[in-house]
Amino acid sequence: MSDIEKPGEEPPVATGAGAANGTAAAQMKSSPTFLDKLSQFTIGRNRGLLPSEKDAATESDENATPPPPLTFWQKVKLHFRRYWVCHLIALIILLAILLPCLFLLIIPAIAQDLLSSGKIVIDSASILQPTNNSVILSIDSHIYVPGPFTVHTDAEHLQLYVPQVGSDYPMALLNLPATKIHKNTSIGEHGQYTVFENYTSWQQFVHNTIFLDKGGLGLKGKVGTRLGKIKKFTLDLDKTIPSNALNQFKGFSIDSASLVLPAESDGTNLIANATLPNQSVLTLEIGNTTVDIKAGSLTIGKGMIENLYLKPGNNSVQIRGTADLKTILANLGSLIAQQGQYIKNGYLSLTTQVTNISYNGSTIRYYTEEMGKLPLTAQTPVLGLLINSLSGFLHGGTANTTNLTSIIANYTNNRLSHESSSDILNNATHLEMVTRHHLERLVKL
């Protein structure tokens, strides 16, 4: 028979030892334990095997909502967090290249531009104690540097030059003290003994000062500078500083004049008060100034201005001199003809021209030569001249009243009895006769 069990058939019963073992096994299998009974009440006993952790994570990721995309700055932050070492090395290399360029090229270029674009203005200056090779120089000025920077400069020796001559021929050296410059800053040097570096340049400066309306002064040199706390570096300074000049003493006037009769012990018989305008910021100590006094081209006397000292503004000076009455008398006809147009208006036209300027007994050549090129002409009232002369004569201790009375009587009885004063002024011949008559008597006094 076949060993295959048929349906409905009972399995064969084992015999012997095998049967005993099988019976025991069957009994063990068919007899449930306490745990088997307890497991029947366990939740999920029929659920099968639990999934592994990897499978659980995969299933969770598939079911979870994807995170929002990173913003630009989050990406940047994440990038630098990952590669900060690389960026640190790159920064060190970049600074090693840029810092030398910054300190050696960029900052000096900025400072040079500030210095070049800054303005220097001379507030006042004085040229005192002139000699033929030196002066005592003082300058007060202010410099404006744009921007919020503070510039520190060292004490420097700068060249002064005349722009028309050029910086190759400086006229003098100017010492400037160390200065801290911020915005608008005043700087100056006082009482500096200044020797001329080039005499021709200095004389050209004097010429420009006297004759020009607007002058200029060149300033050139190397300036040791620090911008803030940065290490010192050297800049080039080359600037032209504009300034007003004397403009040929425009507005010169002879305010009054009088004859001193008789003459003083030193020969002075003419005193005139004049005004010399100075539109510049310069104070000039000139010295004793000798002038010729002319009527037209004829020299009729000499005068002296003692210790001429010009300050900014109008300067009142006194000219003490000697009128050459004999020369005037000898050339009276030509003088009356030349002065006729002025006399009709009640004035005399007089010209003063410098012939010599000296200081402490020495002739100052550059002042003598340059001021000698500038004749100064002004008109003075004839009536004022006569009244001042008469007043001085009457109040003089040595006045000869007898001669004066005879002069006035002669003039009144013989010259004005039939003609008015206007007729005399319009008649050159008659005017010459009257003037000659009185000059002859003045010469005798």
The answer to whether residue 224 sits within a structural domain is yes
Q: Quick: pLDDT tens for 363-385.
A: 999 999 999 999 999 988 776 66
- Report the distance separating Cα 282 and Cα 206, nearest Å: 12
Last residue of a domain, which of 230, 245, 260?
245
The answer to whether residue 99 sits within a structural domain is no
Same domain, 133 and 160: yes
219: exposed, middle or buried (Cβ count in 10 Å: 0-12, 13-18, 19+): buried
Q: Is 49 left (phi over 0), alpha (psi -120 to 50) or beta?
A: beta
Gyration radius of the chain over CA positions = 56
Same domain, 223 and 192: yes
Phi, psi for 369 (deg, rounded to 5): -70, -45
Same domain, 133 and 230: yes
| Alpha-helix runs per DSSP H in 40-196 | 53-63, 72-101, 107-117
Same domain, 159 and 203: yes
Joined together, the tokens standing for residue 87 give 């960026």
Q: Are 289 and 305 in contact (CB under 8 A)?
A: yes
Q: Are 373 and 247 in contact (CB under 8 A)?
A: no
| pLDDT over 60 (residue 429) | no
Q: Which domain holds residue 170?
A: 113-245
The answer to whether residue 8 sits within a structural domain is no
The answer to whether residue 88 sits within a structural domain is no
Q: Quick: pLDDT tens for 66-89.
A: 778 878 888 878 877 888 888 788
Residue 150: CATH number of its domain: 2.60.40
Calculate mean pLDDT across residues 42-62. Answer: 58
The answer to whether residue 12 sits within a structural domain is no
Tell me the β-bridge partners of 120: 143
Residue in the block written with tokens 């620090």? 226
Tell me the β-bridge partners of 161: 218
Query: How many domains does the structure of the chain reveal?
Result: 2
Same domain, 202 and 304: no
Same domain, 240 and 354: no
The answer to whether residue 79 sits within a structural domain is no
**Three-state DSSP class for 246?**
coil
Q: Nearest Cα to 115, choosing from 236, 226, 241, 233?
A: 236
Same domain, 286 and 201: no
Q: Are 269 and 385 in contact (CB under 8 A)?
A: no
Last residue of a domain, which of 245, 267, 290?
245
Same domain, 295 and 353: yes
Instruction: Calculate ∠ Cα 224-227-233, nearest 5°.
Output: 35
The answer to whether residue 381 sits within a structural domain is yes
- Report the distance separating Cα 314 and Cα 61, nearest Å: 101
The answer to whether residue 236 sits within a structural domain is yes
Last residue of a domain, which of 212, 245, 278?
245
pLDDT at 315: 97
Same domain, 209 and 260: no
Q: Quick: pLDDT tens for 284-329.
A: 999 999 999 998 889 989 999 999 999 999 999 999 999 887 888 7
Helix (H) or strand (E) holding 373: none
Same domain, 309 and 379: yes
Same domain, 235 and 291: no
| pLDDT over 70 (residue 258) | yes
Same domain, 345 and 211: no
| pLDDT over 70 (residue 45) | no
Calculate mean pLDDT across residues 126-146. Answer: 91
Q: Are 180 and 121 in contact (CB under 8 A)?
A: no
